[in-house]
Amino acid sequence: MSKVEILTLAPPSAEYAEWLARERRNRLTIRGTQLALLLIFLILWEVLPRAQIVNPLFTSYPSALWPTFLELLKSTPQSAGILTHAWATVLATIIGFTAAMLIGIAIAAALWWWRSLHDVLDPYLVVANAMPKTAFVPIFYIWLGATLSIYGMSLAISLFVTILMIYNGFQGTDPNKIKLAQTFGATKSQILAKVVLPGSVPTLIAALKVNVGLSLVGVVVGEFQSANLGLGYLIQYGSQIFKLNIVMTAITILAIVSSLMYLAISWLEAVVMRRR
Amino acid sequence: MERPPGAAEPKVELRNVGLRYFGREGETEALRDISLAIAPGEFVAIIGQSGCGKSTLLSLISGILGPTSGDVLIDGTPVAGPSRKVGYMLQQDYLFEWRTILENAVLGAEIQGADMTRARERATQLLTRYGLGQFLGHRPRQLSGGMRQRVALARTLVTGPDIVLLDEPFSALDSQTRLALSDEIAEILRREAKTAILVTHDIGEAIGMAERVVVLSRRPGQIKSDRPIRFATPDGRRPAPFAARNAPEFNGYFNTLWQELEVHVEG
């Protein structure tokens, strides 16, 4: 039925086998180069401070991270374990981007529903999106208190771009698909539910991808100011007492966390798009 | 098929219909003083050059657009919004890529809040008849253009309309598929005794499929001519669109309509 079946049924020609081998070699070369780059980075990070070319006080080194990590795992009466810190950051990020998605979809739908509302609010949304939201960290701390200000910052950073992206996705719905629904007498809410929303799923996933990164930024910046828990707090604390080992360990965990969340979204994207 | 005097009221009637579009750059008169009566079961083609308002005419009959002046009537009742009596086939299939073939075919029934079990049964029956029985669970992208347009026909017919509007439904297809499919669709619509209105700029397609061809002038669209298309066949039945192209009458009709269209090649 499909082309793929025909290909697999026919015995592969020598040229095809060669092409496959070349493709495979290319893929391996790229993976290898990626790993090599990471290794070079780690080696330079390890060697330069040890050779006193850069001050180890400022950079720490990779081999110091693991012992620091093990040490930070233990929670003391004064301080929580590093996994508790990481979990606090992850949880706040999840709450942040979930809220940004839900509120963003609701607001984008309202803007789609009432065209004039969009026309009125459009310049404000654009400016709000362009504003450096981190300027509000101290104010949010005053307004919302220690915990809520972190969620608030996460939401503030990701919400406006979410609204703009999703609204553009809604607006980009093929007008002929809407016309088709109208020929069957569809109401506005049916058009939204059966045409606009399902048609915008790729946009929603793109928005989610952007969101996860931005929410994490918001949470970490919020934690700098107000938290006594979370990786942002740990970074702040470590730099204040000049223990770069702690800072670098926290940043490394942050890198791992954001990679994992990005992978999770990519997996979700693959699952959703395969069904289309 | 001309309406004998005193026959049943027309299925679709336009009385002095005019339509103007408003835009910031000014207003555009798309249609002017269109009067047209179409009998039940009649297959009418409307031809005209691009931009002459032929598609607008269908939008008026389907009720997704209201006339600026005049009246549009279906079964003698003025049209006030999309009616279940009317099915509309657009220029392309516009199948929803996130729905399966069967789910696409029942879209209209779903929007109209019909009995979904019966709609699914009817859709399955239609799709099977159109040779798509094994593709019910497939996604639109797995189908060819001709198959997709057949799904669009099933989607239109599942809701059981009396009147089917066809807006250049074959324009996105390659020429072989186009000929085969126009035969097929004309045959289906005749067998189900639907009143059909086909909009096209393809003269051959109009003569082949319809028993009456209306020519619209350039903007603002006005009716320029309205003529029956008849073929002398041994069994007295209308030939299929493809066979009609070989009938002796075909060229005569073609030349007349060509002249009436006043085709100017520009550029």
What domains appear along chain B, each with residue ranges and CATH number? 12-85+161-261 (3.40.50.300), 97-160 (no CATH)
Identify which of A65, A72, A37 has the alpha carbon closest to the alpha carbon of residue A56: A65
User: Which residues in chain B are closer than 8 Å to A169, comparing Cβ atoms?
Assistant: none
| Whether B120 contacts B50, CB under 8 Å | no
Chain B stretch 30-89, residues whose beta carbon is closer than 8 A to a beta carbon of chain A = 62, 64, 81-84, 86-88
Q: Residue A240 has which token pair? A: 């204040």
**Which residue of B97, B98, B108 is in closest CB contact with A184?**
B108
Alpha-carbon distance B59 to nearest alpha carbon in chain A (angstroms): 9
**CA B75 centroid distance within chain:** 18
Identify which of B34, B76, B75 has the alpha carbon closest to the alpha carbon of residue B219: B34
Q: Residue B108 has which token pair? A: 């209209």
| pLDDT tens for chain A, residues 1 to 276 | 444 445 556 677 888 889 999 999 999 999 999 999 999 999 999 999 888 888 888 888 888 888 888 888 887 767 788 889 999 999 999 999 999 999 999 999 999 999 999 999 999 999 998 888 888 888 888 898 888 889 999 999 999 999 999 999 999 999 999 999 999 999 999 999 999 999 999 999 999 999 999 999 999 999 988 778 889 999 999 889 888 888 999 999 999 999 999 899 989 888 888 776
Using DSSP bridges, classify how beta strands B26-38 and B163-167 pair: parallel, antiparallel or unpaired. Answer: unpaired
Q: How far apart are CA A17 and CA B90, in angstroms?
A: 46
Q: How far apart are CA B174 and CA B204, in angstroms?
A: 15
Count Cα neighbours of A141 within 13 Å in the Cβ-side half-sphere. Answer: 13
Is B144 touching A (CB cutoff 8 A)? no
Q: How far apart are CA A8 and CA A1, in angstroms?
A: 12
Question: Tell me, what's the ipTM?
Answer: 0.85
Through-space distance between the first and last CA atoms of chain A, rounded to whole angstroms: 19
Contact partners, residue A194, CB within 8 Å, separation at least 6: A181, A186, B107, B110, B111
Helix (H) or strand (E) holding B37: strand B26-38
Q: Do A275 and B98 touch (CB under 8 A)?
A: yes
Chain B stretch 160-199, residues whose beta carbon is closer than 8 A to a beta carbon of chain A = none
The residue type found at A5 is E
Interface test mutation site (partner B, options A119, A178, A180, A189, max chain B beta carbons within 10 A): A180
**Which residue of A174, A177, A184 is in closest CB contact with B111?**
A184
Q: Residue A190 has which token pair? A: 């049916």
Is B159 touching A (CB cutoff 8 A)? yes
